[in-house]
Structures are given as structure tokens and as C-alpha cells.
Amino acid sequence: MTDNIPLQPVRHKKRHDNKHKNGCCPWSRCCGMGEFRPRTVWLGHPEKREQRYPRNVINNQKYNFFTFLPGVLFNQFKYFFNLYFLLLACSQFVMELRLGALYTYWVPLGFVLIITIIREAVEEMRCFLRDKEVNSQIYSKLSTRGTVKVKSSGIQVGDLIIIEKNQRVPADMIFLRTSERNGSCFLRTDQLDGETDWKLRLPVACTQRLPTAGDLLQIRSFVYAEEPNIDIHNFIGTFTREDGDPPVNESLSIENTLWASTVIASGTVIGVVIYTGKELRSVMNTSNPKHKVGLFDLEVNCLTKILFGALVVVSLVMVALQHFAGRWYLQIFRFLLLFSNIVPISLRVNLDMGKMVFSWMIRRDSKIPGTVVRASTIPEQLGRISYLLTDKTGTLTQNEMVFRRLHLGTVAYGMDSMDEVQSHVFSAYTQPAHDLPTSRAPPTTKVRKTISSRVHEAVKAIALVHNVTPVYESNGVTDQAEAEQHYEDACRVYQASSPDEVSLVQWTESVGLTLVGRDQSSMQLRTPSGQILNFTILQIFPFTYESKRMGIIVRDESTGEITFYMKGADVVMAGIVQYNDWLEEECGNMAREGLRVLVVSKKSLTEEQYQDFEARYVQAKLSVHDRSLKVATVIESLEMEMELLCLTGVEDQLQADVRPTLEILRNAGIKVWMLTGDKLETATCTAKNAHLVTRNQDIHVFKPVTTRGEAHLELNAFRRKHDCALVISGDSLEVCLKFYEYEFMELACQCPAVVCCRCAPTQKAQIVRLLQERTGKLTCAVGDGGNDVSMIQEADCGVGVEGKEGKQASLAADFSVTQFKHLGRLLMVHGRNSYKRSAALSQFVIHRSLCISTMQAVFSSVFYFASVPLYQGFLIIGYSTLYTMFPVFSLVLDKDVKSEVAMLYPELYKDLLKGRPLSFKTFLIWVLISIYQGSIIMYGALLLFESEFVHIVAISFTSLILTELSNGCP
């Protein structure tokens, strides 16, 4: 049985991503940085630092002023194709080897180099200007002299930086103070983790309580921070104030951090800098840009090696036929130069010009407006993509959640029946006091609830069980404080760490129950009649990946009732709520419609029950050993026999035409992998909704694994599945790659689709690299956020989508599109045409040069195998660049099928994945045709025009031109 075959751990190759462990660059020790270590940072005293830290400079350039020219030339001449022409041109400085004017060799080579240098210089200058803009942003710094202005590049570890609303965080910092009344702030982290939902951050409690911001410089305090690393979701540190009595110590976690490249979404904050420059989380999660060379160019480079081998053989044969007489070694070099057109320098010129035309066609295509080509050297790569790796948030989806369905078990409300829900809520708060809904009646009486009361209870629960905060912003007419005091709807926006929760609160507002106020200890709801309901927040249990649920305990100030509300995934809530016969079935029905399903429940508590729980909960939180386990155990004591209120269905709207685009890619033989930093349930739901996983395919959710044994069992379980899509988390993926890299990649590559959730930016790049190493196939990465840059730069083709998350991914990509749906035409039409045309063009140019070399060989054999030139330099240049320009560019503009046909039948793309347009078979056919035509032309000219021998050059080249015109322009 194959299921019982033991999995063998693989021996890892040296990875390219270990730079983050011991420094960002191999010269870190020389720069005084050394290895990364934990640090103690004194507030407002950068001079007290224990070690040297890197400057806070962002640098995305490939070269600097001194390495630009050597670097560009090295990248050009490290390939045989270009090095051959350089050596050929240099040989003409030796008088005994010169066969013509120097310009016949140096002009074409110089033209190619100048174009390359100009292109690289323009790209580097654009990158330099973008970096300069970021490094020159002005910030306010607290110092003993007051508030001073400082550039981003001048910020040091230990500085106290003031950051305004909508301002980018310039360095990794610890959050100390905020101007917000609720004592917290929200961050937009889209450029860091790719999620457009806002993240809640809390300041250090000790510093938040200080009367003024200036007191931060008066206290004696420091932050102990862990060593810099790439983990953007975790942080370990402590805050210590020494001048207190007794000294104050607070633990610091991810909730107290402000990572660089995030944006402050609310209020004004003050933070102390702990990491700068190359030690920033965002920088360590971004790979260095690399010089991409297309597979097509590598194949042409391989063909030129074969042609060079043929050149050496022909030269040796010619000298051998002379019986190695005289200075035969010099004759070999002369024949090498004489037949040098076997490897045509015009091939490089024509291919570069063709690529420029292909890039121009992509930019000018009216059906994919706004498309930008930033790497004009690899357009033919688009025609051979085997694996497409795409981000989810903002790429496949719009990240705009819309409430679609409320299900109460016996009745369901969709978008077309929300007015009924609104009427039920309205009646619940406008009927006489003696006829209140049962939810506000004493819990001792058990009566059958009406539909109206059940709807009211469900809506009320949804309006309370969340982490959403309403924020009031000035609209230019109303003062902000006044707007908050009167709860003005026009000035209110909702902030939350999840767009799902915002959509639920917005829905409760639309049906009449509005969240109008919230801080860390209270919440206010407004009824349809305008009455304000006040609730005290007693406890909050936030959502975690392990628990898959969140809960809240509130006290109704008007009645004194204490209620425990909870919502979560159906897989965990099914064992918490009271027995029912409809939960599983309805959850499955809603999930098949592509909806995110949440189960909402409640439990009424007496004062004695809550006080008992609170005592046990506080004691568990003070435990030193097994704190998380003890806290979870206490919470679980409440999570029993809860009353099931309703199911909610929320839809994450897809980008336009995502489903047909994915279907086109699938029919073209391209496997699509979705890599996202989002939750497992969200990623799985989106994969179903976008039809990344077809309806007749099963989904295997890889269980969380932490050890080699667990990974072994899960891989064996996955091996039993056939034609099954895989869903795996980033943590489990890391364990599998550590112990069973080869086996996991082998199984994953057989899947029709793969979804990786909770992926860090470096993990995305690692997956791309593993696919390239294990399969040898071309990969294309698509994303729209700063967290996708590493993946985009690592892939053979990087495509950036300009969206809500800014242009960072778009600027770092090889190709930039405005919508995901444009990817279909970019690959099926432009990628296919670019590859087929480049393949035809390269073989045509080789054929043209081989004809000339064959004619030269025949001509030399007539003169007893002497190295006599058949042509002058200007003639071959004119021939290569003028006479045959039209047939060459007829190939550049050639079209075998219309673009509509290519989109209608994506199966035509499959043929390109095998590399058939340019292969050893087609190359050999063109070589035989070249030898045949060159021989016939030369021998025919000598036989038919023997009396006109003095004009034999003009006659033979005229015949050659006519032959090439007929070949190139059928």
C-alpha cells in the first residue's frame, strides 16, 4: 500500500532566504551591524544606544553610482551570446585578424549596449526618485528643545516620533501615547500584510496615563525589545520605568507595536523607535530585486553555443582541407572570423527591437487600458506560464463585504426581504412597555418566541458582539466634538480589524439598530425611535485562529441583565450551542453559495454566575505557568448549552470577471495557487466563490501540524486523495517544508488548485522559488499590496494590480494591470503572440546568417579553401538592416489567429507550454534549409553566370535577398 510508505526527510539545498537570520546583506559585519541581538532602548535618548544601528534609509535600487556601469556590463556579458560578440569585435584590433572595417563589428554591439544602458539608467533613476521621496518625508520629534522637524532618513533608534493621522509610520516603533479618547488607535496595514482591514493598537498603559507628552522625556524608562526578525504578527518585549516607586514593568506584544510602512488611521500617536533601516520588519520581508532573464533568451543563448561549435568545426575542416599548411593556427582564427555570421549579431538587435514592439502593443491595447510594461526584456515569458500564484485580498476580491442573508432556522431573510427585518426591529422598540419582546422579559418564564422577537434578539446580538468602534470625523461644517456628542450619522465611520464585522454593524444600522458609541468599557446603540441603549462591556474574548470564535459579556444598563454573546465558525459553534437539527445543513447550503457563515448565540447570566466566572478568570490570567491553557479552560466553562440565535451570511465581492478569467487560465493548462495572509475559513470561502475550486472537486484542509510526526500523518492522509484541492496554513506549510520538502511539493504540484493562508511575505516568495526549483516551469505572481512585492520579484513574471492597497506592488512588477481580468488577455493574446513571433524571428535571422555563411564556405572552397571574404562590411550591414527589415518585421507583426479566437479557445496556449515553437527539432530543420538554400544560390550563381564572374557577389546576394523576402513574406 502506498499509504504506508515512510516519508523520507530531504536534505535541503542552501536557501537564498537565510539572509534575514544573520543580517540583510553579507557585508553587515563590515558596516558595524554584526549579528542581530536584543536591545535596550531608552526613551528619547538615542545617545545611550548599546550598539550601532543602520540608518533609516529605504533603498530599492539594484546598483549605486559606482556599481552601475560594471553591474550592467556584467549582466550583459555573463552570457555567451553577448560575450562572443565582444570577443569578436575586440579581435579586429589585431591587424592580422582584421577582415573589414571596425565599425562593422562595433556599431551593432555598441547600439545594443547603449540601448541597454539607457533602459537600465531610466529604471534606476525612477527607483532613486521614489526612494528619495520616501526618505525625505518630514516628521516631528520630541526632544529636550521641544518639537523639532526631522527627515525620515534622520530618525534614530530611541527617538520619540509624533505621527499624525493618515501619515506613514517611518520606522518600527513601540506605541506610547495617543490623542484618541478611547486610548487606542487603528492602523492601515495593507502595505505590510496585504489586508485592507484596520488593526487595533494599544499604547503602553504607563505612558498613556502621563499628563502631557513632554513628560515622556522626564521619566527614566526604557524598552527591552527582541532581536529584529521577519515575523510581522508577533513581538516580545517589556517596558520598564525605573523612577517609579515601585518600578513599573509592563509586557509588550504585537498590540503595542507600530510597524514601518503602516499608516495611522485615527488620531495622533507618539512612539519610540526600536528598529530602523535594514532591520525594519517590512524591509526584511522584501527580497532584493534581481535582474530577470527570460527563458527564451536562455534558449537562444544555448542555440548560439551550438552554432559556435559548428563554427569551430567548419573552421577546422577548412584548415584540414589545406593540410594545415603554413601558419595554420592563424588561418583557423581567420576562418572563425570569416564564418562568424553563423552566430549573427543582428539576432540580438532584431530580438530587442521585436521586444520593444511587443511592449508597445501591450501598452496600446485598448481592451486592457492602463497596462504598463516595466520589463520590456521578457514579454515572451507571458506565453509560457505554467503556474500562476495570486494574492486574494484586493486582487481576486474587492475586500468589500456585503451582508447577504440572515437565517433563523425556520425562516431566512435575503437582500430582497430586509424590509421585513427592519419592520420587526421597529415594532420591537415602539410597542407598549407591557408588550415587550421576550428578550427583555424575565428569563424565568419559558414561552414560545414570535418571529418578531427572534429577529430582534438576533439583530441585537449582531450589533453587540464585535470589536467595531464608531469614529466621528469633521465634515467641514460640523465640529468633530459636536458631531460625536450628537452621534451625527454623516460624520460617523466604522473602524475595525475585520471588514466582516464592519459589514455586520453596517447592516444592523440599515435595519434600525445603530452603533453610535464605544470605548474600552461601554457601548451605545440607537433604536429606530432615537432612544440610546447603554451597555457596559464586562469582558471581551477576541477572535483567534485557534479558537475560531469571539465573545463578549455585556450588562444592559436599563435592566441590569448580564448576557454572554458569542459568534464563530460553525465547526466550533456546533458543539457549543443547544441541540438543533438545522445548523449543519443550512451552513453547508450558505457555504456552497460562496458566503462566509457565522453562527451567533447567547447565554443569560445571573450576577452570581458572572462574579464566580470573573474571579476564576482573573486568577487564571495571573498564572505564571500554562496561562493560556488555564484562561481557555475558564472561558470554556461558560461556552455550554448556549442559545442559537441565527446564522449570518456575508459575501466578499469578487473583482470583475474573476470567475471567467480563472476558467480561461485553467483551460489553458495553467495551475492557479492562491497565497494570502487571510484566515483559513476566509481563504477557503473565496476559493469556492471564485471557482478556483470547481464544484465537482473536493477540498482537503491540511490540519495544523507542529512536529515531524504530525506532518508525516497528514501527508499520508493527503496522499490518499485524488483530484483534490489543497488548503494549508503558513505554519503547517513551514513544518512540511522543513522535514518533507520534496514529498510535499510533489503532492502539491499534482493538485488542480492550492490555497495557502496565513502566509508571510517571505513565505510567498519561498513558495515561488520552490516551484521553480522542483518543476522547472515558469511562474507568474500577481498581487496588489506591499506584502506581494517579494513574490512578484521572485517569480519569472511579476504582475502588479493597481488597487486600494496603493502602487507599491505595481511599481515593483514587470507588468502592471488595472484589473485582474486583464490577465487573461495579457497571457492568451500578447504572451502567446510575443513568444511565437520571437521564436519565428530568431530562427529566421539564424537562417539568414547561415545562408550567408554557407555561401561564404562555397565561395572559399572555389578558391582552394582560402580565407577570402565574399562581401564587404557595408554590404552585409545594409543587407541585414535594410533589405530584410520588412520580412523581419512582418514576423514581428505576424498573427496566426485573431485575438478573439485566442481568447475563445485558450487550449491553444497549451501547445506553447511544451516549447514547440523553438526547439532543437525546428532549429535543425531551419539549419538544413539554410545549408540547402545557401548552397543552391552560390553554386547556381557560379554555374549559370560563369561569364559574369566579376559580378558574382551582386548576383548571389540579389538571389539571397529575393529568397529571404519570399521566406519572410509568404
Q: Catalytic residues, which ones? A: 391
Residues 779 and 797: their CA atoms lie apart, in Å, by 6
Residue 846 DSSP class: H
Residue 393 labelled as part of a binding site: yes
Residue with cell 521586444: 355
Residue partners of 648: CB distance under 8 A and separation at least 6:
403, 405, 406, 407, 462, 504, 567, 597, 598, 600
* 190 assigned ligand-binding residue: no
Q: Which helix (H) or strand (E) holds 424?
A: helix 418-430
Nearest to 75 by CA among 126, 108, 116, 105: 116
| Reduced 3-state DSSP string for 579-591 | CCCCHHHHHHHHH
Listed as own residue / partner, the contacts of 9-15 with beta carbons closer than 8 Å and 24 or more positions apart are: 9/708, 9/739, 9/740, 10/740, 10/741, 10/742, 10/743, 12/741, 13/773, 15/766
Q: Is 292 annotated as a binding residue?
A: no
Q: Cβ(160)–Cβ(253) under 8 Å?
A: no
Annotated ligand binding at 543? The verdict is yes
Amino acid, single-letter form, for residue 792: I
Which strand (E) or helix (H) includes residue 280?
Answer: none
Q: Which residue in 74, 78, 88 sits closest to 117, CA to CA?
A: 74
**What residue has cell string 560563369?**
946
**Nearest-CA neighbor of 851 among 814, 874, 876, 830?**
876
Helices (H), 45-96: 68-77, 80-91
Does 626 belong to an annotated binding site? no
What are φ and ψ of residue 386, in 5° steps?
Answer: -105, -30
| Angstrom distances, CA of residue 777 to CA of 384, 772, 796 | 8, 6, 9
Q: Is 395 annotated as a binding residue?
A: no
Any known ligand binding at 534?
no
650-to-547, 597, 617, 686 alpha-carbon distances in Å = 20, 7, 33, 11
Residue 452 · residue 437 · CB < 8 Å: yes
Residue among 856, 893, 858, 862 at smallest CA distance from 969: 893
Strands of the 160-163 sheet, one edge to the other: 146-151, 138-143, 160-163, 269-275, 172-178, 257-258
Name which of 529, 517, 512 is nearest 491 in CA terms.
517
* H-only helix segments in 139-211: 190-193, 205-208
Is 596 marked as a binding-site residue?
A: yes
567 is in an annotated binding site: yes
Spatial separation of the C-alpha atoms in residues 60 and 280, rounded to whole Å: 14
Task: Please check if 678 is assigned to a binding site.
Answer: yes
Neighbours of 342 (CB within 10 A): 26
Which strand (E) or helix (H) includes residue 799?
strand 797-801
391 is an annotated ligand-binding site residue: yes
- C-alpha cell at position 518: 464605544
Q: Which residues contact 676 (CB under 8 A, 6 or more apart)?
A: 194, 391, 392, 393, 682, 683, 686, 755, 756, 757, 758, 759
DSSP track, 904-957: H-GGGGHHHHTTTTSSHHHHHHHHHHHHHHHHHHHHHHHHHTGGGGGGHHHHHH
Checking DSSP bridges between strand 198-201 and strand 221-225, what pairing results, if any?
A: unpaired
Q: Which residues contact 651 (CB under 8 A, 6 or more apart)?
A: 401, 402, 404, 594, 595, 596, 689
How far apart are alpha carbons 183 and 686 in whole angstroms?
35
- 561 a known binding residue? no
| Strand 797-801, strand 815-817: pairing | parallel
Annotated ligand binding at 245? The verdict is no
Contact criterion met (CB below 8 Å) for 752 and 35: no
Which helix (H) or strand (E) covers residue 845, if one does? helix 832-862
Q: Which residues fall in the annotated binding site for Mg(2+)? A: 391, 393, 784, 788
Q: Which residues fall in the annotated binding site? A: 391-393, 501, 543, 567, 596, 676-678, 758, 764, 784, 787-788
Q: Which residues fall in the annotated binding site for ATP? A: 391-393, 501, 543, 567, 596, 676-678, 758, 764, 787-788
